A and B are shown apart, each in its own frame.
Chain A
């Protein structure tokens, strides 16, 4: 049910202006202009790239159920949330997500956490156990961490446990989300549970469980700073470089003073792609020189139109303001500054 509510609530944020695949691309973290721009436009940062491995087939079966249960319906190729859908999400507040800053990297944190917990859990009994994470980078990281803290000292084991428990207690999340996270961990002679096993025991579908788990990981990492033993495990997990790689290259050239055309030629990309990049930059960077592309008057006019028409559809705005280009409209809608 969690996933159902989350998806419906995101369609509600899209304000009847996007098709059925929009949420899929958002969850996958698609790096196209449209998806990235929508993130800014509809304030969907928390949900960007929360399930990079989701398959279209999985998503489609889900969406079909939502249509079948009439939480959403299709009008002019756009998804509209029904009255029933609005009721469904009335009290729903998806807490804890911070997809924009993790984009799948939270799993690397979980691997570290899992291996540390497993080692500590085994420590009083044996040092000979098969590690649950076989990934070399994780193993090296954890080995160093454990050595640094002299993990066989009971004092460390206690502190670690206390910090993890207190941190989990503090998180503003459902008990169930925490329970899922903890059941994915393994210890001395007790292995973690598979998604399918949790699905059966908790009677909630796998996607919902996975989304809860992600929200729990995100908030765990975000709140870890006052818990140094946990915070140490979050090193280099958060992404603070927010532009996609390709956009970053364009940005570097742009701030060196090259024109759009020059950048396109130099990078062997289409102008429209470079425009996507600029829109992404406008969205992420409060310092973006919007006035270089759109006059202050036009900016104001576009914003006014967007508000009065209650739309973010480029064409509708363009019809009212024939003299501005689509690119200008996109930039204005993407830009953060008021």
Chain B
């Protein structure tokens, strides 16, 4: 008669299954592409995939919070661009130190997110509309501030050098140097990169951001309320939680991640490209959704989103290597997205 309901084995919980699904899909893609092309698994190419994932991945981290919360953020792509432009404005035009520029970029993103949050909670504008408005606003502001031209970080090469350097590679060289000081990897690093050299520093920034995001989502109050509000806002409100404030915080956090993405993309391209950005939000949302985040709220995970971001960049990279025209790559990405959500629905039935 002790009919205690046992918790299902944690591995078999639905959201984990979806993550396995996404992970399995990722592995399958990698296997297929590496069989189809020898170039695919070359360190340089892998480094390229990581680089491509970094920007979209950081955007997707923020978007994951908003979607689990039951909202949507369409503005992350252009907020990213605007943040990059502001960073360039501070560093190149106003000749401020690089760290100040970086801070300005992050702050710009966070402020845009804050504005989104206030529109949603105080002005009661639906998230779709509020962030769509922000998409246009930041797109326009980027062009206004930059006067329609890219701004280069020519006076501060260190910005790009640090971003595109590889701490991991340096570390590997130090270790190798201890055992074998005459190794060509140590003596001529440029001609003989170590296997980890293609992992650039900005990729590490992405992983660091992911770890922080996972911590916030899983271990903090903010994370708990993100799920609670996505699951049932009214019930959360009735429980005495200040829903408006937490929702604003979530949009601000998402903006902050977009700001970080802006700094990253600026450093990577060694410039702020004001015309870039639109379309990135869709990749970010796609990454979250492929990773099992539910657009109706209440479900999702950072690990899933990271996997989802890799699925998208591996797909793009692999198809490019196989010389599939770019327009077809887009078609395939769309198909994969629908397929992922379809499988998710089937599983839940």
Do A and B truly interact?
no
- Chain A residues engaging chain B, CB cutoff 8 angstroms: none
